[in-house]
Amino acid sequence: MTQVRLRFSPAPTGFLHIGSVRTALYNWLQARHVGGTFILRIEDTDVARSTQESVDQIQQVMHWLGLEWDEGPYLQSARFDAYLAAAAKLVDAHLAYECYCTEAEVKERNEQAMREGRPPGYGGQCRDLTAEERAARAAEGRPVSIRFRTPDEGRSTFTDVIRGEVSVDWSTISDFVIVRSNGTPVFFLANAVDDVDMQITHVLRGEDLIDSTHRVLALRHALGHDDQPVYAHMPLILGPGGGKLSKRHGAVSVEEYRDAGYLPEALTNYLALLGWGPDDGREVLTVDEIIAEFELERVNTSSATFDPKKLEWMNGEHIRARPLPELVSAVLPFARTRYGARLDIGRFERAVELAQVRATTLVQIADQMAFLFTPDEEIEIDPASLEKATKAERAAEILDAVIEFVEGCEWTAEIDPRHAIEALGVKPGKVMHILYTAIEGRGQGLPLFDSIGMLGRESSLRRLRALRARL
């Protein structure tokens, strides 16, 4: 039995899109599920658009998500010789040819064809040039690219694990460029050569590449390799409302989710469920559970709409599932940037514990504890909460009673002032928002009794009196 080898092969031309991450994830899952090898291959054949920054970013994001690779990163830009040698071999065998048409000419012809209602595509102008004709064009100073000659008839067919048999008429696929006039190889060529050289056994990628597979396979065949890797084209991820997932739907890069307080395991869990699910219907899963249950054959055929709401819910589930110490370390960076030197670790850990059951993002957790690290005189009271508190019936009376209680009570971790309120004949539940406003600056937040306990008697009294003074 041959070793299973998969690769994730992004083009480093920008941030890593959510859709690309899902592709990386599925490749990684399949590799881990069967004990295969996961390879990272950077497809930077388009030198003009590729950036080192993007190469670095891809790796950072994959580390953060836990998608560790076993080989690579291999850079295609370091293997141009291999691709160009393959191209030369194809030209020698008359399976590819030198093309002297300029980009502008090709573009113009395509537009012309569209206007006349004919299908666009390269017309084969340079297919059968004689040596003299080639020399003449070269003498004119025309640029030279290399085109692969596709069959004029017949059908191209391959089997897709997810979709079954996929086929297309060769007549609809015109000759395509495999080496640009600037001498750099194109995706189809590099992809075909590398998948052979790196002994890739399974190709998992987005449905948008389904048509290109015919071309890659034809190249592979022309280069003398009739064996094929297993292909699986996964459904695309759409934005809310259909169409491409884009900025206006919220974040589309992993960094944005990381910075918004999402846990990597929540993101991978949610993304794994977009197009796949275990057969028992469970949804909140650990990575190990997903690896154990992942089946390529169970991947869906239809595209899925990205739902930020469900992701947020799932993030909350994973926040609750994390052991407290691990949640604490995840929230810490967010708290540091917010509270800096004022951060008190003891209070911080307790606050995270109190917030764990009620938050859906790490940012929420960090924000909810703001009142603990803000000096009494700098507490900003939320306007809406203040208005509600000041308009509440008997607010002054209630605050006076609570102040008196806090002044004299025995101090413990949880200070419960409800008796003082009940003594006035008032139901505590209805007026607690007044106390939350005084202590935390908002009508709701971390549990009040613990909050007062953490703040201490003096600080709590200053805050209660400050609000009393504003009534």
Partner RNA sequence: GCCCCGUUCGUCUAGAGGCCCAGGACGCCAGGUUCUCAUCCUGGUAACACGGGUUCAAAUCCCGUACGGGGUGCCA
- Which one, of 25, 34, 58, lies nearest residue 273 by Cα? 25
Q: Site size for RNA, by CB under 7 A?
A: 90
Stretch near RNA under the rule CB under 7 A, chosen from 23-31, 112-120, 219-227, 398-406: 112-120
* Active-site residue, 244 included: no
Three-class DSSP category at 447: coil
Among the listed residues 66, 243, 325, 333, the single contact to RNA using CB under 7 A: 243
Q: Which of 72, 277, 330, 466 binds RNA (CB under 7 A)?
A: 277
Decide if 270 contacts 307 (C-beta within 8 A).
no
In angstroms, the CA 296 to CA 232 distance is 8
Closest CB to RNA among residues 336, 456: 456
Q: Which of residues 384-413 bind RNA (CB under 7 A)?
A: none
Task: Tell me which H or E stretch contains 460.
Answer: helix 457-469
247, 310, 427, 430: which one is catalytic? 247
267 contacts 65 by C-beta, under 8 angstroms? yes
Q: Is 238 in the site for RNA (CB under 7 A)?
A: yes
In the complex, least distance from residue 61 CB atom to RNA, rounded to whole angstroms:
16
170 binds RNA (CB under 7 A): no
Window 40 to 99, contacts with RNA (CB under 7 A)? 43, 45-46, 49, 99
Of 171, 145, 143, which is closest to residue 156 (Cα–Cα)? 171
Least distance CB 251 / RNA (angstroms): 16
Tell me the window of 26-34, 63-71, 237-245, 454-462 that interacts with RNA (CB under 7 A): 237-245
Instruction: For residues 382 and 210, give the distance between their C-alpha atoms in angstroms, rounded to a whole number.
Output: 54
Q: Does 269 bind RNA (CB under 7 A)?
A: no
Q: How far is the CB of 20 from RNA (least distance, A)?
A: 9
Report whether 374 contacts 351 (CB < 8 A): no
Nearer to RNA, 68 or 169 (CB): 169
Residues 5-24 that bind RNA (CB under 7 A): 9-11, 13
Each residue 195-224 as x (binds RNA by CB under 7 A) or -, in order, gives: ------------xxxxxx------------
411 DSSP 8-state letter:
P
Question: 6 is written with which tokens?
Answer: 């998969």
In order, the DSSP letters of 213-278 are HHHHHHHHHHTT-----EEEEEPPEEPTTSSB--GGGS--BHHHHHHTT--HHHHHHHHHTSS---
Q: Which stretch binds RNA (CB under 7 A): 21-29, 90-98, 131-139, 355-363?
A: 355-363
Site for RNA in 90-109 (CB under 7 A): 99, 101-103, 106
- Select from 357, 396, 413, 471 the one that contacts RNA (CB under 7 A): 357
Which is closer to RNA, CB of 153 or CB of 377?
A: 153
Check the CA dihedral 304-282-315-31 and report its sign. negative
Note whether 158 binds RNA by CB under 7 A.
no
Residue with tokens 């949804």: 283
CA angle 29, 32, 37 (to 5 degrees): 110
**Residue (2 or 108) nearer to RNA, CB:** 108
How many C-alpha atoms does 467 have within 13 Å on its Cβ side? 38
Instruction: Please report whether residue 339 would count as binding RNA according to CB under 7 A.
Output: no
Question: Nearest distance from residue 326's CB to RNA, in Å?
Answer: 18
Binding of residue 453 to RNA (CB under 7 A) = no
Shortest CB 76 distance to RNA, Å? 8
Least Å from the CB of residue 2 to RNA: 25
DSSP character at residue 360? S
125 binds RNA (CB under 7 A): no
Contact of 48 with 184, CB cutoff 8 Å: no
Q: Which residue has the tokens 């589309």?
A: 252
Among positions 132-151, residues that touch RNA (CB under 7 A) are 143, 145
Percent helix, strand and coil across the chain, each to the nearest 5: 55, 10, 35
Dist CA 177 CA 183 (whole Å)? 11
Q: In the range 428-447, which residues lie near RNA by CB under 7 A?
A: 428-429, 432-433, 436, 443-447
Q: Which of 94, 115, 309, 391 binds RNA (CB under 7 A)?
A: 309
Q: What six digits make up the tokens of 223?
A: 């280069």
Active site residues: 247
